[in-house]
Amino acid sequence: MNGEKNEPHNKPNSFHTAFEFHTSKLLSLCPPQHGHQRRQFSVRSAAAKRKALRSSFPVLELPLLPIQRHVYEANLRNSRACQNKYTELQEKVRRGGGENAVIRHTQRNRKLLVRDRLRFLLDDDDFLELSPFAGMGLPYGDIPSAGCLTGVGRINGLWCVFIANDATVKGGTAYPITVKKQLRAQEVVIQNRLPCVYLVDSGGAFLPLQSEIFPDKNQGGRTFYNEAIMSAMKIPQIVSRLTDGSRFQEFKGRYGTTLVTGFAKIHGHLVGIVANNGALTYEAALKGSHFVQLCDQRDAPLLFLQNTAPAAALTLSAAQVKAETNSNRLKAQGSMMSAVACASVPKITVVIGGCHGGDSYAMCGRAFDPNFLFLWPNARVSLAAPGHADSLLPADTKQEEEKKLNEKLEEESSAFFSSGRMWDDGVILPQETRKVLRDALDIIKQQRHQLSTEKKQPVLLRM
């Protein structure tokens, strides 16, 4: 009016844009009522929505903290020493039973080596090997790779688990650790609903240790039981280096700061990340419990990054322990353990530092059935951290006994000691973690396209 030109009704303006934004925001927060379908007002395509979700995650831009030079150099030396030990063990494992055994196997028996067989069977050499250091440092000697290779690889485009005997190691005989490794591979098959391929070249059980192989429930016969069941089923800095584009949407960043939680994408897979850097405080455990249940409802796989600080593990006095027993911290930890145990989404655990005491259970340790569990070479797995043995001993313990226990903890808490006894699915280098997670998430995705498991209802603990 008054000479002004009327705007066409179909032209977007700021009011329409704001209305569309607030309407979509309101609809996302309000669940549909029973018996009614939610109307979709957004005209954006699914691809556009995915692109918007990707770009909505902020990029982690963390400045390097001012750190003392000698601390940095000490950490660097320790990291290089761990990597050198890793490389040394890896070369020893790849040699199998040794040069003479390899010559006898290939020239006299005219057989292919186990890795050559896998190379011809699998689509490519890029497969996820499980527990390669199993069998090393055992009381009855070194058994490279526990006498068999297990892992997950693609056959004609389909992810499959393989269990392949290495006849160059002790003539292919099965040791107790061999049975344990095969059983763990079958657990991966059952959890992820994968086909399983066996490449058998075995000399049977190692008779001097037959009592540890044959009679008990979870020994040799269990592998055949599992085969029948599987046939019936038809089956902050570290985070920024693991996620796509270093993007990470943190959840409750200012609450319970010893636990970092949030959403990110790893090779296109949306995951919920739970990473601790110290003790699980009352606030941290509550936040962890809430976030795990949120991921379970959203059907997002969980990635746990364990790093319990040594000083935080079992350093309380008797009076403090008594007070701690009655505190809310233990209740919150119990709530988080319940949430982790009852979550039906896939779970992957990587121990990047310390794994000590009860905190390791809430962070999805082995006892809580993660789909995969890996260790970095510098990882430590024990009830108490090395150097803190005094928290496990009576007050009148002699200094010499305490020193012996600390030495024992130092030896038996190492990642290689753990992996040698099949307490994990292998030691991986930090720089290979993103690749390993990609393979694990691809494997999990294949399983989730098949039969979905019924969600377990969380157990509510009232205290």
Indicate if 270 and 326 belong to the same structural domain.
yes
**Domain-embedded: residue 40:** no
Say if residue 457's pLDDT is above 60: no
320 vs 231: which has the higher pLDDT? 231
Please state the rounded mean pLDDT for residues 91-113: 90
Residue 432 lies in a domain: yes
Give pLDDT tens digits for 431-443. 999 999 999 999 9
- Contact (CB, 8 A) for 295 and 340: no
Q: Which residues contact 109 (CB under 8 A, 6 or more apart)?
A: 167
Lowest-pLDDT range of 98-112, 197-211, 315-329, 424-438: 315-329
Domain final residue, candidates 233, 263, 281: 233
pLDDT band at 27 (very low <50, low <70, confident <90, very high): very low
Pairwise CA distance, residues 278 & 263, whole Å = 21
Q: E-strand spans in 320-359?
A: 347-351, 354-356
319 and 229 co-located in one domain: no
- Judgement on whether residues 226 and 247 belong to the same structural domain of the protein: no
Average pLDDT of span 372-401: 74
Provide the mean pLDDT of the chain.
Answer: 79
The percent of residues above 90 in pLDDT, for the chain, comes to 35
Whether residue 7 has pLDDT greater than 50: no
Determine the average pLDDT of the residues in 149-165. Answer: 92
Least confident of 56-60, 148-152, 297-301, 321-325: 321-325
Q: Does residue 190 sit in the same domain as residue 157?
A: yes
Do both 141 and 102 map to the same domain? yes
Are 202 and 172 spatial neighbours (Cβ–Cβ below 8 Å)? yes
pTM for the predicted model, two decimal places: 0.67
pLDDT of residue 26: 41
Domain presence at residue 45: no
Closest CA to 188 of 347, 340, 417, 301: 347
305 within 8 A of 379, measured Cβ to Cβ: no
Both 298 and 318 in one domain: the answer is yes
Query: Has residue 197 got a pLDDT over 80?
Result: yes
143 and 284, same domain (yes or no): no
- Higher-confidence residue of 28 and 203: namely 203
* Domain extent at residue 84: 69-233
pLDDT of residue 394 exceeding 80, the answer is: no
* Domain match, 213 and 359 both: no
Q: Indicate whether 1 belongs to any domain.
A: no
Confidence at 451, pLDDT banded by 50, 70, 90: very low
Q: Does residue 353 or residue 398 have the better pLDDT?
A: 353
Q: Are residues 180 and 279 in the same domain?
A: no
Q: Count Cα neighbours of 338 within 13 Å in the Cβ-side half-sphere.
A: 14
Q: Is residue 12 part of a domain?
A: no
One domain, residues 181 and 263: no
- The Cα 163–Cα 145 span in angstroms is 11
Q: Please write the tens of the pLDDT for every residue from 300-343.
A: 999 999 987 654 444 444 455 555 555 788 888 899 999 999 99
102 contacts: CB under 8 Å, gap ≥ 6: 95, 96, 113, 168
- Contacts by 85-92 with C-beta closer than 8 Å and gap 24+? 85/377, 85/416, 86/377, 86/427, 86/429, 89/133, 89/136, 89/416, 90/132, 92/136, 92/142, 92/144
The answer to whether position 55 is within a domain reads no
Number of domains in the chain: 2
Q: Which residues, 6+ apart, have CB-to-CB distance to 463 below 8 Å?
A: 331
- Report, as an integer, the average pLDDT of 398-407: 74
Domain boundary among 181, 215, 233: 233
329 and 428 both lie in a single domain? yes
Residue 272 inside a domain? The answer is yes
Residue 379 and residue 249 share a domain:
yes
Q: Strand, coil or helix: what is 72?
A: helix
pLDDT at residue number 387: 61
Query: Measured between alpha carbons, how far is 160 from 155 in angstroms, rounded to an integer?
Result: 7
Assess if residue 161 is contained within a domain: yes
Q: Which of 244, 252, 245, 241 minimizes the C-alpha distance to 274?
A: 252
> Which CATH number fits the domain that encloses residue 376?
3.90.226.10
Q: Give the rounded percent of residues in the chain with a pLDDT score beyond 70.
A: 72
Higher-pLDDT residue of 305, 236:
305
Domain boundary among 195, 214, 233: 233
350-372 as b/e, with b when 16 or more CB fall inside 10 Å? bbbbbbbbbbbbbbbbbebebbb
Choice among 168-182, 270-284, 392-406, 424-438 with the minimum mean pLDDT: 392-406
